[in-house]
Amino acid sequence: MRYTQWYNWRHKKSGHVFQGRYKAVMVDADEYLLELAAYIHLNPVRAHMTDRPEKHKWSSHQSYLGKESLSWLETGSILSQFSQDVKKARALFAVFVGGHITDGRRGEFHGEKTLDSRIVGDDSFVDEVLAKAETLSEQKPDVNIVIVAVKKLYDITGDRLSARGQERVASEARGLAAWATLELSSGKLTELAKHVGRDPSTLTCAVRRLEAHRGKDAALDEKMAQLRRDLLGIQVFKA
């Protein structure tokens, strides 16, 4: 959010810089992994930003070809599908991607034409994954996850969240953490109290104050809605 504000100020623009949230999907490696890798690397070509994937400055394609080194990028799982010899694997990968350069948009890689948009694979693969998921018991996020989400939402450190005093932002963040603990988590206020250095009764009062302001403070309402979305979007499973 801060980068978006700076970017828009610097370039006299408005609106989204990064539109759409990151999401992960499960892919049937046997059938779709390599094709999906090629599809991603060819995104700049389909967008008419370049005529060859290796020419695009912001792509990892150069690293897959061994022409650039990115310490944080793991290429082995893809390249090993072609050969255990790295040089040969890179050459075969380049040929494979080049063979798809004229391909158009594929709906299955955008959550279309599938039984579940979170899963990329044929119907039998999707059914198998969903059947396995049903054997897991879903749990609500714990207090630790609530704290992490609140710190991210308010862009504050743990020390600031638990600091003595009534600094407004930290105080509101603690109140929201207490509300989320009661409403959305598997934890208790006694657990949260230990993390933020407050009595459970103090946190209970903070929740009451928060509830009293609901519907009257648009910014607070949005933070509560965002925290709810963040925590409900986190699925914690226990086998």
Q: What is the pLDDT of residues 183-233, one digit of tens each?
A: 888 889 999 999 999 999 999 999 998 888 888 888 888 999 899 888 877
Question: Is the domain of 225 the same as that of 207?
Answer: yes
- The confidence score (pLDDT) of residue 216 equals 85
Alpha helices per DSSP H over 81-188: 86-98, 123-134, 143-154, 158-162, 168-184
Question: Is the domain of 181 the same as that of 219?
Answer: yes
Question: Is the domain of 116 the same as that of 148?
Answer: no
Range of the domain at 81: 22-134
Question: Is the domain of 173 the same as that of 129?
Answer: no
Q: Is residue 82 part of a domain?
A: yes
Q: What is the pLDDT of residues 12-44, one digit of tens each?
A: 887 777 766 566 778 887 778 899 999 999 999
Phi, psi torsion values for 137, nearest 5 degrees? -90, 125
If we measure between CA atoms, which residue out of 53, 36, 42 comes closest to residue 108? Answer: 36
Question: Is the domain of 122 the same as that of 26?
Answer: yes
Question: Is the domain of 217 the same as that of 156?
Answer: yes
Q: What is the pLDDT of residues 130-189, one digit of tens each?
A: 777 766 556 788 999 999 999 999 999 999 999 888 788 999 999 999 999 998 888 899
Q: What is the pLDDT of residues 116-134, one digit of tens each?
A: 777 777 778 777 877 777 6
